[in-house]
Amino acid sequence: MAANPRQQHSAGPVAIEVRDLRKSFRVPEHRVDSLMERLARPLTRADYRTLDTLKGISFDVHQGEFFGIVGRNGSGKSSLLKILASIYRADAGRVRVAGRMAPFIELGVGFNPELTGRQNIELNGVLMGLTRRETLARVDAILDFAELHGFDELKLKNYSSGMLVRLAFAVMVQAEADIMLVDEVLAVGDAAFARRCMEVFRERRAAGTTIVLVTHDMATVQQLCHRAMLIEDGVIRQIGDPADVALAYNSLQFAQEMPATGPDGQAITAVHHLHLEHAELHGADGRPVEAVAAGDPIRLAVGLQAVADLAGAAARIQLRPESGLPVGVFDLELPDAIARGERLQLGGAIANPLAPGHYIVDCFIATEDAPGSLAMQHIRLLGFEVTGAATDGMLHLTHDLAAVVDGGGSR
């Protein structure tokens, strides 16, 4: 019997070792906003409170492993990644790293806004461990990936956030480090850039590069990661199989974002019955696309695999803007019974009256867990762009409204 690839990676040499890592920050209780306030109370001592961000974190990442770190905002995951990248210093504990590391932590870190794009490439390439000659040999490849030819002599302070993130990621990719540290790269930039990032992740995963990814996207975690870790309130809540970690994360999110009861007063419990294999939009020619023109149908294709027996389930597809209430809700009938291991395909066309902007497609799978109780799984399927001329409304709706002059005025 062939070994499970996740087990193979977890049994390999250790690339990152973290033991009893602790980090806290001093947060002022009172903020001094003006010079006048400072002069009025020159001898007043500022009061601080201690915010414990990491409380004794210990874990290993093995060579060639794609390791996901998830958690809600403020859980400590980004602080952990910055300690791994030597941007923050831990208060206690130790970190050991075997290999050259390339971090992609946040916009602007390691860049000088007063230098040009080309000068920043040379600077960051050296910081990533390349020689100056190696960096210069890779400049054209970096500019090609970042799509910044013609902007390389422009100072970085004049770059947009999208240009900056493309440049930073391109430099990290060309560094060809043994270990990549990536914090929410897919949350920044356009859909085409996010797709190229995913291609890079798949290539590096296949090549055996060790990758640590911090993300809120459970679909990415389940598709790419060998193992994942959930951090909550500065401690490890769960570590292991990505599907189990995604379930634990979604349970926390349900508690924070979802109503406690269903439409008929049922209690809601988060579960994980289906694994997302793929989710994409198709153009008229059947090929995957990242954007849809306003007015063109939204052709959705989703592949799921059951990781547990499922009976009496119902599905709901929900379409919403990136921040806002749903603009489309579609209920689907599912087979009465789906056995573990069976695959389920969801797809079809949705009429598109949407105004240009970024939209999210979610899927909810619900079953009756017990009388008065619903077991529900939330799957973030994908994000996409609707392109076209800007409009004042959220939807393009057809109408036959008209204005006429009433000839029956006063005489």
Identify the band that residue 1 occupies on the pLDDT scale cut at 50, 70 and 90: very low
Q: Is the pLDDT score of 394 beyond 90?
A: no
Give the CA distances from residue 2 to residues 7, 10, 301, in Å, rounded to whole numbers and listed in that order. Answer: 11, 15, 31
**How many residues would you count in the chain?**
411
Distance of alpha carbon 141 from alpha carbon 350, whole angstroms: 39
Residue 332 half-sphere exposure, CB side, CA atoms within 13 Å? 16
**How large is the average pLDDT for residues 25-33?**
72
Q: What is the pLDDT of residues 170-226, one digit of tens each?
A: 888 887 788 988 887 655 556 677 778 888 888 889 988 999 999 888 878 888 899
Q: Are 18 and 57 in contact (CB under 8 A)?
A: yes
pTM for the predicted model, two decimal places: 0.67
Q: Where in the chain are the domains? A: 14-27+49-250, 263-405
Give the CA distances from residue 166 to residues 71, 208, 306, 335, in Å, rounded to whole numbers and listed in that order. Answer: 25, 23, 36, 43
* Class for the domain spanning 14-27+49-250: alpha beta
pLDDT at 256 (0 to 100): 54
Distance of alpha carbon 194 from alpha carbon 187, whole angstroms: 8
Q: What is the pLDDT of residues 47-103, one digit of tens each?
A: 778 888 999 999 999 999 999 999 988 888 888 989 998 888 999 999 999 988 888
Q: What is the pLDDT of residues 114-159, one digit of tens each?
A: 999 999 998 888 877 788 888 889 999 999 988 888 898 999 889 8
Distance of alpha carbon 301 from alpha carbon 384, whole angstroms: 13
Identify the band that residue 3 occupies on the pLDDT scale cut at 50, 70 and 90: very low
pLDDT at 51 (0 to 100): 86
Q: Identical fold at 14-27+49-250 and 263-405? A: no
Mean model confidence pLDDT for the chain: 82
Q: Are 322 and 328 in contact (CB under 8 A)?
A: no
Q: What is the pLDDT of residues 61-76, one digit of tens each?
A: 999 999 999 998 888 8
pLDDT at 80 (0 to 100): 92
Q: What is the 3-state secondary structure (H, E, C) of the chain?
A: CCCCHHHHHHCCCEEEEEEEEEEEEEEECCCCCCHHHHHHCCCCCCCEEEEEEEEEEEEEEECCCEEEEECCCCCCHHHHHHHHCCCCCCCEEEEEECCCEEEECCCCCCCCCCCEHHHHHHHHHHHCCCCHHHHHHCHHHHHHHHCCCCCCCCEHHHCCHHHHHHHHHHHHHHHCCCEEEEECHHHCCCHHHHHHHHHHHHHHHHHCCEEEEECCCHHHHHHHCCEEEEEECCEEEEEECHHHHHHHHHHHHHHHHCCCECCCCCEEEECCCEEEEEEEEECCCCCEECEEECCCCEEEEEEEEECCCEECCEEEEEEEECCCCCCEEEEEECCCEECCCCEEEEEEEECCCECCEEEEEEEEEEEEEECCEEEEEEEEEEEEEEECCCCCCCECCCCCCCCCCCCCCCC
Q: Is the pLDDT score of 409 beyond 70?
A: no
Give the CA distances from residue 408 to residues 81, 402, 403, 404, in Å, rounded to whole numbers and listed in that order. Answer: 74, 18, 15, 12
**How large is the average pLDDT for residues 399-411?**
73
CATH superfamily, domain at 263-405: abc- transporter (atp binding component) like domain (2.70.50.60)
pLDDT at 172 (0 to 100): 82
Other CB atoms within a 10 A radius of the CB of residue 14 amount to: 14
Q: Is the pLDDT score of 6 beyond 60?
A: no
Q: Is the pLDDT score of 258 beyond 60?
A: no
Strands 179-183 and 210-214, sheet pairing = parallel
Q: Is the pLDDT score of 19 beyond 90?
A: yes
95 forms beta bridges with 18
